[in-house]
A and B are shown apart, each in its own frame.
Chain A
Amino acid sequence: MPAPIRLRELIRTIRTARTQAEEREMIQKECAAIRSSFREEDNTYRCRNVAKLLYMHMLGYPAHFGQLECLKLIASQKFTDKRIGYLGAMLLLDERQDVHLLMTNCIKNDLNHSTQYVQGLALCTLGCMGSSEMCRDLAGEVEKLLKTSNSYLRKKAALCAVHVIRKVPELMEMFLPATKNLLSEKNHGVLHTSVVLLTEMCERSPDMLLHFRKLVPQLVRILKNLIMSGYSPEHDVSGISDPFLQVRILRLLRILGRSDDDSSEAMNDILAQVATNTETSKNVGNAILYETVLTIMDIKSESGLRVLAINILGRFLLNNDKNIRYVALTSLLKTVQTDHNAVQRHRSTIVDCLKDLDVSIKRRAMELSFALVNGNNIRGMMKELLYFLDSCDPEFKADCASGVFLAAEKYAPSKRWHIDTIMRVLTTAGSYVRDDSVPNLIQLITNSVEMHAYTVQRLYKALLDDISQQPLVQVSSWCIGEYGDLLVSGQCEEEEPIQDEVLDVLEGLLVSNLSTPVTRGYSLTAIMKLSTRFSSVNRIKKVVSIYGSSIDVELQQRAVEYNALFKKYDHMRFNLDVLYDLVSLLFQANDLLDLLGGNDVMPVIQTTLPTKPASAGGELLDLLGDLSLSGRTTVNGLKIEFTFERANPNPNIAVITIHATNTTEADMTEFVFQAAVPKVSHDLSVTFV
Chain B
Amino acid sequence: MQFMLLFSRQGKLRLQKWYVPLSDKERKKISRDLVQTILARKPKMCSFLEWRDLKIVYKRYASLYFCCAVEDQDNELITLEIIHRYVELLDKYFGSVCELDIIFNFEKAYFILDEFLLGGEAQETSKKNVLKAIEQADLLQEVCGLCPR
Residues of A that sit less than 8 Å from B by CB: 7-8, 11-12, 15, 51, 54-55, 58-60, 64, 77-80, 82-84, 87, 91, 94-96, 113-115, 117-118, 120, 123-124, 127-129, 131, 152, 155-156, 159-160, 162-163, 188-189, 192-193, 196, 234-235, 237, 242-245, 247, 251, 283-284, 286-288, 290-291, 294, 322-327, 357-361
Contacts and interface: CB of A to CB of B under 8 A. Distances in A.
Contacts of A247: 75, 78
Which of B24, B73, B104, B114: most chain A CB closer than 10 A? Answer: B114
B147 A113 contact: yes
B117 to A, nearest CB: 9
Nearest to A197: B121
A124 B118 contact: yes
Across chains A and B, which 9 residue pairs bring their CB atoms closest together, nearest first?
Answer: A287-B77, A127-B119, A189-B124, A322-B46, A159-B118, A287-B78, A163-B119, A244-B125, A234-B126
A117 B136 contact: yes
15 contacts: A51-B107, A64-B24, A79-B137, A79-B141, A87-B111, A91-B16, A94-B23, A117-B140, A118-B147, A155-B123, A192-B124, A283-B80, A323-B47, A324-B77, A359-B45
Contact of A189 (B14, B107, B125): B125
Contacts of A358: 44-46
Contacts of A323: 46-48, 76-77, 80
Contacts of B123: 155-156, 159, 189, 192-193
A570 to B, nearest CB: 66
B114 A124 contact: yes
B149 interface: yes
Contacts of A284: 77-78, 81
Interface in B95-149: 103-104, 106-107, 110-111, 114-115, 118-119, 121-129, 133, 136-137, 140-141, 144-149
B121 A162 contact: yes
Contacts of B107: 7, 51, 54, 83-84, 87
Nearest to A284: B81
Contacts of B14: 58
Given A51-B107, A155-B123, A360 B44 contact: no
Contact of A192 (B19, B125, B146): B125
Interface string B53-87: 00000000000000000000101111011100000
Contacts of B125: 188-189, 192, 235, 242, 244-245
Contacts of A87: 107, 110-111, 114
B49 interface: yes
A77 B81 contact: no
B75 A291 contact: yes
A235 B78 contact: no
B105 to A, nearest CB: 8
Contacts of A115: 140, 147-148
Contacts of A95: 21
Contacts of B42: 357
Contacts of B140: 79, 115, 117
A244 B80 contact: no
Given A54-B107, A290-B75, A327-B48, 5 more contacts: A79-B146, A80-B141, A287-B81, A291-B75, A360-B49
Contacts of A196: 121
A152 B111 CA distance: 15
A123 B118 contact: yes
Contact of B149 (A77, A82, A326, A359): A77
Contacts of A120: 115, 133, 137
B118 A160 contact: yes
Nearest to B22: A94
Contacts of B126: 188-189, 234-235
Contacts of B50: 360
Given A243-B78, A323-B77, A326-B48, A234 B121 contact: no
B13 interface: yes
A188 B146 CA distance: 31
Contacts of B111: 83, 87
A155 B116 CA distance: 11
Nearest to B73: A251
A238 to B, nearest CB: 10
B28 interface: yes
Contacts of A11: 103-104
Contacts of B122: 192-193, 244
Contact of B13 (A58, A118, A123, A327): A58
Question: Which among B21, B28, B46 has the greatest number of chain A C-beta atoms within 10 A?
Answer: B46
A360 B46 contact: yes
